């Protein structure tokens, strides 16, 4: 329970359905969060709100310290990815390792059969009954299935997503009906441990990155300026480059080995093929030799028609029917058949990100 309306409504709905519910908040950030935003899931107000909701519902409440595991599997991953020239997705890793990893261990200790969260996603058995299928939430605006693509079958089999068929408005109505104090609480859309969405400032303040000078070059290798660390740049970035040019330039590649930020015009951001690694397949035990799907390359991406070709060592090649802008190494690419999550993987850097044909 994060202290927000979604997890509050989840607890209320489960109680109404006859479940024996226990509320748990994971304390993830090792430092005192008073100086951070009060609405964050690590903040003291979040704990107060979650405890109050549990009190109102008459269910047990526990605050469990998982800050060491969060530091190891999320914060360090977050910093390492930026140092390697990739853009991380900490929410996927938190779901995989904390909410459906360590929390399952806690559930076993409490004798609980399921883990329930406020994610807007749905679960249902496959037609043959052999697998658990993950599907988009009914509300397309709030759907969060993208962040859950890396969950294994044993994790999905013990998951409950009561909000999967509801809209955000429905969720608030549930909380209001139960007179929960979080019913009208504003939701945070930022990374929970990054104040003001300033990830570069966070990396510096937490001593996870330091400024180090390097070249900003164009696609031909010409030096156009200097950067203070590739960790502070992302693919597709235009602002803050500190260089002048006759037309807008964007970050098109981050070369960690050479400590270079490579820039080009907007057309250079287009990609028609890329590779993913560390694939997780949900809809099938072994994927077909090739299949058609809609590939979603970031959370707010609408998805693009693609041909997926699984490769050895947990990789897959993604051939897009139409080039897509800013395919970003380190982000997740999740494959859908209508609203069913087939699986997904992590976008690779390097030669796999070839320039779209015709862009040079």
Q: State what percent of residues in the chain have pLDDT above 90.
A: 83
Q: How far apart are CA 328 and CA 330, in angstroms?
A: 6
Angle value at C-alpha 35, between 31 and 40, nearest 5 degrees: 80
For 19-66, how does the pLDDT look when each residue is reduced to its tens digit (9 = 90+)? 999 999 998 876 544 444 444 555 788 899 999 999 999 999 999 999
Q: Which domain holds residue 341?
A: 270-352
- Answer yes or no: is 218 within a domain: yes
Given this model, what pLDDT does residue 28 score? 86
- List residues with catalytic annotation: 94, 192
- Structure-token match 């400590």, residue found: 259
Task: Look at residue 145 and tell me if it is in a domain.
Answer: yes
The residue from 241, 264, 287 where one domain ends is 264
> Into how many domains does the chain fold?
3
pLDDT of residue 150: 98
Asked if 178 and 42 sit in the same domain, the reply is yes
Q: Over 50: is that where the pLDDT of 82 sits?
A: yes
Assign 271 a pLDDT band (cuts: 50, 70, 90).
very high
- Whether residue 181 is contained in a domain is answered as yes
Residues 30 and 76 in one domain: yes
Domain end position, chosen among 148, 169, 186: 186
Cα-Cα-Cα-Cα torsion 41, 120, 290, 127, nearest 10 degrees, comes to: 130
Same domain, 9 and 157: yes
Q: Which pLDDT band, with edges at 50, 70 and 90, does 139 fall under? A: very high
Q: Are residues 43 and 159 in the same domain?
A: yes
Q: Which pLDDT score is estimated for 30? A: 63
Task: Answer whether residue 356 shows pLDDT above 50.
Answer: no
Whether the pLDDT of residue 195 is over 90: the answer is: no
285 and 157 part of one domain: no
120 is a domain residue: yes
Residues 315 and 232 in one domain: no
Q: Say if residue 44 is in the same domain as residue 60.
A: yes
Look at residues 236, 248, 247 and name the one whose alpha carbon lies nearest to residue 353: 236
Identify whether the C-beta of residue 98 lies closer than 8 Å to the C-beta of residue 73. yes
Residues 110 and 258 both lie in one domain: no
Amino acid 188: pLDDT: 73
Among residues 171, 186, 201, the one where a domain terminates is 186
Share of residues in the chain with pLDDT > 70 (%): 93
Q: Which CATH number fits the domain that encloses residue 285?
A: 2.40.30.10
Per the domain annotation, does 111 fall within a domain?
yes
Q: What is the CATH number of the domain that holds 220?
A: 2.30.30.280
Confidence of residue 95 (pLDDT cuts 50, 70, 90): very high
Please check whether residue 193 lies inside any domain of the structure.
no
The answer to whether residue 195 is domain-embedded is: no
pLDDT in tens, 96-122: 999 999 999 999 999 999 999 999 999
| CATH number of the domain enclosing 60 | 3.40.50.620
Can you tell me the distance from the alpha carbon of 276 to that of 38, in angstroms, rounded to the nearest whole number? 37
Q: Do 111 and 253 belong together in one domain? A: no
**Residues 226 and 105 grouped into a single domain:** no
149 in the same domain as 20: yes
Residues 75 and 163 in one domain: yes
- 270-281 and 315-325: which strand pairing? antiparallel
Any domain includes 357: no
Residue 124's CB is within 10 A of a number of other CB atoms, namely: 11
């Amino acid at each position: 329970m994060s202290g927000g309306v979604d997890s509050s409504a989840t607890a209320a709905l489960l109680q109404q359905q006859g479940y024996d519910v226990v509320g748990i908040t994971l304390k993830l950030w090792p430092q005192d969060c008073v100086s951070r935003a009060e609405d964050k899931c690590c903040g003291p107000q979040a704990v107060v709100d979650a405890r109050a909701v549990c009190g109102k519902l008459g269910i047990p409440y526990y605050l469990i310290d998982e800050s060491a595991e969060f530091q190891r599997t999320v914060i360090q991953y977050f910093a390492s990815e930026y140092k390697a020239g990739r853009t991380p997705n900490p929410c996927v890793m938190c779901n995989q390792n904390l909410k459906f990893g360590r929390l399952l261990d806690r559930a076993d200790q409490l004798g609980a059969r399921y883990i329930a969260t406020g994610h807007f996603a749905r679960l249902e058995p496959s037609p043959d009954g052999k697998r658990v299928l993950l599907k988009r939430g009914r509300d397309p605006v709030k759907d969060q299935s993208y962040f859950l693509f890396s969950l294994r079958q044993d994790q999905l089999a013990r998951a409950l997503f009561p909000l999967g068929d509801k809209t955000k408005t429905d969720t608030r109505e549930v909380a209001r009906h139960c007179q929960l104090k979080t019913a009208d609480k504003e939701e945070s859309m930022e990374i929970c441990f990054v104040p003001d969405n300033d990830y570069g400032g966070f990396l510096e303040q937490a001593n996870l990155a330091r400024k180090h000078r390097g070249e900003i070059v164009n696609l031909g290798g010409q030096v156009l300026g200097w950067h203070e660390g590739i960790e502070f740049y992302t693919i597709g970035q235009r602002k803050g480059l500190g260089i002048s040019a006759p037309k807008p330039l964007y970050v098109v590649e981050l070369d960690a080995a050479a400590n270079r930020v490579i820039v080009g015009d907007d057309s250079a951001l287009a990609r028609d093929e890329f590779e993913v690694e560390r694939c997780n397949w949900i809809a099938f035990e072994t994927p077909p030799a090739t299949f058609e799907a809609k590939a979603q390359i970031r959370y707010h991406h609408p998805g693009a028609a693609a041909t997926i070709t699984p490769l050895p060592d947990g990789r897959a090649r993604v051939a897009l029917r139409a080039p897509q802008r800013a395919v970003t190494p380190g982000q997740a690419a999740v494959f859908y058949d209508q609203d069913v999550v087939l699986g997904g993987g992590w976008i690779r850097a390097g030669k796999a990100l070839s320039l779209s044909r015709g862009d040079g």
